[in-house]
Amino acid sequence: MIQERTNTAKQYLFATDFDQTLSFNDSGIVLSELLGTKDFIKKVEGLSRIHMVQQGGELAYLLLHDPEYRRVRKEHLYEVGKHIRLKQNIRLLSQLLKDIDGRNFAFYVVSAAPEEVIQSALEGIVPPENIYGTKFRYHPETGEIQEVLRVSAGYGKVAVLEELRNSLQISYDHVVYVGDGSSDVHVMLNVNRHEGLTIAVSEAKFISQIARRTILSDDALSVLIPILEDVAGWDSLRIRAFFTANGFALQDWNKVRTDTLTIAEHGAAAAQFA
């Protein structure tokens, strides 16, 4: 029993978004380029303005309802994955997370991007069973998308994370979530509320102001910094030594805290000092 509790204490869940978190591209944009369709951004903005679908679920809606995207089949989504430009060192990140001072971080991808796109892009890096993207049901004869079975966006990400946490028997304070956009807001708020670690990889205010840490880099290994500091409790010297031991040097590591505010003169106060 003691050994079982010790093992549980060393188990963590590392869950990350995909589009513009592990990659530089939005899956919808890459798909649109392959289809020769140019209005993807306008259509997404239109859906957002009328609150037609939850944020992050726009591509799934278009694939199911828009005439230009209805021709997409499973093989097209796999092809999109081969054109996604990934951040550097995702494979090494997944390997290093297996043992951080005896802590094991189970690596999962939770994203609104189509599951086939993510599986194709991360083939040989992340096992398919560790990928939770938007899931479709296809017509058995035509291959046409018939139904959206799961959209891992907004509250959908909260549901997936809860499922994973229960399956792995991990408490929320042993959860690390990494994201970049509006579809990550709900899950980050939920993880924060339960004292987990949230990491933003974008300067967008709606996400960086919610996340406990923000890290900006073209290298996936960068998210190790807040994990090593906030979870493992390492100082900067030990972190630099860790990266050096794995063949990397931390260059231009700037730790910045910025307060942004606007101060306006109150009428009465301004008159008093005039």
Q: What domains does the chain contain, in order, with CATH numbers?
A: 2-266 (3.40.50.1000)
**Average pLDDT value over all residues in the chain:** 88
Top pLDDT among 274 and 191 is at: 191
pLDDT band at 2 (very low <50, low <70, confident <90, very high): very low
How far is residue 215's CA from residue 189's CA, in Å, rounded to a whole number?
18
Using the CB atoms, write b or e for 242-261: b if 16+ within 10 Å. Answer: bbeeeeeeeeeeeeeeeeee
Is residue 107 over pLDDT 90? Answer: yes
Which of 9-23, 157-171, 217-231, 257-271 shows the lowest mean pLDDT across its residues?
A: 257-271
Is residue 269 over pLDDT 60? Answer: no
- Give the sign of the dihedral formed by CA 138, CA 142, CA 143, CA 148: negative
pLDDT of residue 5: 46
Tell me the mean pLDDT in the region 97-124. Answer: 97
Is residue 84 over pLDDT 80? Answer: yes
Q: Which two tokens stand for residue 52?
A: 């037609």
Tell me the mean pLDDT in the region 232-258. Answer: 85
**DSSP conformational letter for 31:** H
Using the CB atoms, write b or e for 175-197: b if 16+ within 10 Å. Answer: bbbbbbbbbbbbbbebbbeeebb
* Residue pair 66/43 in contact by the 8 Å Cβ criterion: yes
Q: Phi and psi of 257, rounded to 5°?
A: -120, 120
Percent with pLDDT over 90 in the chain: 71
**DSSP conformational letter for 227:** I
Top pLDDT among 256 and 124 is at: 124
pLDDT of residue 134: 95
How far is residue 62's CA from residue 255's CA, in Å, rounded to a whole number?
41
Start-to-end Cα distance in the chain: 73
Tell me the mean pLDDT in the region 19-47. Answer: 91
Is residue 57 over pLDDT 90? Answer: no
pLDDT band at 131 (very low <50, low <70, confident <90, very high): very high
Is residue 174 over pLDDT 90? Answer: yes
